[in-house]
């Protein structure tokens, strides 16, 4: 009891203005910030993959398979922050057993299952099927058993079967594009439909979340492609990197335009909540929203990418510019999620005061758990890349076969 009173006293010292006692605790913390961040990376990476398959942008072909595997790795981890937040994570299965069709959060289970099984897994399987069949004949031991299982008994590599794989993969990609929009757009829909919270209640929230997801996905794949090329000591395909930088620049412009439109719309409405929201941005969220998100993560990348496109400097300068802007953009998108999720809980419902959020170290929603959830997709991606090499497209079979025989 004494410890509880001490924590309450410490919280009261951080409060600005007046807050009722039941408005002190924040229900959503760091792991819930990770949830929309990770799902956004999934949607953005898949949309980047669709540029080559559907829109025939050949320059980004070196990152097509890498984008698919990245989306799959992060999608497998996407629901874990929600499960960590639940007191009884095993109850998540009740979403499927007793579906509540009027709950947007409950419907996420069905959207997730659709996107994982029907979209991503099927597209990866159709794209890799020929390679899996060849690998099942090339390797020995446990790899041969694994690839034989992954082939699902379909071992034909005839021209007709390969054409069917291509058509089926293209159709799934076309279906997957609106599915990717739905996967992450609904996250913004959940926040935007909370009418009682003026920080979240905006019709532009789903669109802002979606375009910021595209930006973050492109930045992530760009960074992974550059790092993996350096680790493999393989030359980076500069036309591919320049095209990724071009799409990143355009997507960032659209994202910034939508956020500015939302900001201007809030100022124009000038509701009774505008004063407390302005106070929150100027105090609690000044560093995360103004300094990190707006200046470091938006203005600096825009200027750098614009200069690169205008001056076209030498390759080394462009590589450094793309790598630096990619990191800054990912940090900015993470803090955009931070500002949305936590910002909507920092002010009182009476619009009279502000509170603070302190990150715990341990526990189901602490910094350690969040760090593990952040690193886990990269571990899964490493495993997927080892099992399904994405580097050489269809010619990857010959590359693997040569390595096997030489070893």
Residue 187 exposed, middle or buried by CB count within 10 Å (0-12, 13-18, 19+)? buried
Q: Cα–Cα distance between 181 and 185 in angstroms, integer?
A: 5
List 353's β-bridge partners, or say none: 17
Half-sphere exposure of 119 (CA within 13 A, CB side): 29
pLDDT tens digits in sequence order for the chain, 407 residues long: 555 455 545 555 566 666 665 565 678 889 999 999 999 999 999 999 999 888 889 999 999 999 999 999 999 999 899 888 887 777 777 877 887 777 777 777 888 888 888 899 999 999 999 999 999 999 989 999 999 999 998 888 899 999 999 999 999 999 988 888 887 777 777 776 666 678 887 778 888 888 999 999 999 999 999 999 999 999 999 999 999 999 999 999 999 999 999 888 888 877 778 888 888 899 889 999 999 999 999 999 999 999 999 999 999 999 999 999 999 999 999 999 999 988 888 887 777 788 888 888 888 888 999 999 999 999 999 999 999 999 855 444 444 444 443 33
Q: In whole angstroms, what is the distance from residue 243 CA to residue 231 CA?
A: 22
CA neighbours closer than 13 Å in the CB half-sphere of residue 60 = 27
Fold category of 14-402 in CATH:
Formate dehydrogenase/DMSO reductase fold (1.20.1630)
- State pTM to two decimals: 0.88
The residues spanned by each domain of the chain are 14-402
Angle of the 64-77 helix axis to the 205-231 helix axis, nearest 10 = 120
Q: What are the φ and ψ backbone dihedral angles of 312, each rounded to 5 degrees?
A: 50, 65
Q: Pick from 253, 228, 223: which is nearest to 241 by CA? A: 223
Cα distance between residue 407 and residue 405, in whole Å:
5
Give the separation between CA 49 and CA 344, rounded to whole angstroms. 33
Cβ atoms 334, 37 nearer than 8 A: yes
């Amino acid at each position: 009891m004494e410890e509880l009173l001490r924590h309450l006293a410490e919280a009261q010292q951080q409060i600005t203005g007046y807050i009722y006692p039941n408005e002190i605790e924040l229900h959503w913390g760091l792991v819930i910030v990770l949830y929309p961040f990770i799902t956004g990376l999934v949607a953005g990476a898949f949309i980047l993959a669709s540029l080559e398959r559907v829109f025939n942008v050949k320059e980004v072909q070196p990152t097509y398979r890498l984008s698919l595997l990245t989306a799959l790795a992060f999608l497998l981890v996407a629901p874990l922050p929600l499960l960590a937040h639940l007191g009884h994570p095993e109850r998540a299965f009740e979403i499927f057993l007793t579906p509540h069709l009027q709950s947007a959060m409950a419907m996420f289970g069905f959207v997730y299952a659709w996107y994982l099984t029907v979209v991503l897994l099927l597209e990866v399987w159709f794209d890799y099927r020929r390679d899996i069949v060849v690998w099942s004949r090339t390797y020995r031991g446990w790899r041969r058993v694994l690839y034989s299982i992954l082939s699902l008994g379909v071992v034909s590599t005839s021209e007709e079967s390969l054409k069917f794989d291509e058509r089926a993969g293209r159709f799934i990609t076309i279906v997957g594009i609106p599915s990717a929009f739905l996967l992450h757009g609904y996250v913004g829909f959940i926040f935007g439909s909370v009418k009682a919270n003026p920080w979240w209640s905006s019709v532009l929230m789903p669109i802002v979340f979606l375009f910021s997801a595209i930006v973050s996905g492109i930045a992530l794949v760009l960074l992974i492609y550059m790092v993996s090329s350096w680790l493999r000591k393989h030359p980076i395909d500069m036309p591919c990197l320049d095209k990724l930088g071009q799409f990143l620049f355009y997507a960032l412009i659209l994202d910034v335009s939508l956020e500015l439109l939302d900001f201007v719309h809030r100022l124009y409405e000038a509701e009774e909540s505008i004063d407390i929201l302005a106070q929150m941005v100027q105090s609690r969220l000044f560093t995360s929203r103004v300094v990190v998100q707006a200046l470091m993560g938006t203005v600096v990348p825009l200027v750098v990418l614009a200069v690169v496109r205008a001056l076209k400097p030498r390759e080394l300068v462009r590589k450094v510019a793309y790598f630096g802007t990619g990191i800054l953009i990912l940090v900015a998108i993470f803090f955009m999620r931070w500002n949305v999720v936590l910002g909507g809980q920092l002010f009182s419902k009476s619009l009279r005061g502000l509170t603070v959020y302190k990150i715990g170290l341990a526990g189901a929603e602490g910094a350690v758990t969040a760090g593990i959830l952040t690193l886990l997709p990269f571990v899964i991606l490493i495993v997927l890349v080892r099992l399904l090499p994405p580097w050489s497209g269809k010619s990857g079979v010959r590359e693997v076969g040569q390595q096997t025989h030489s070893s």
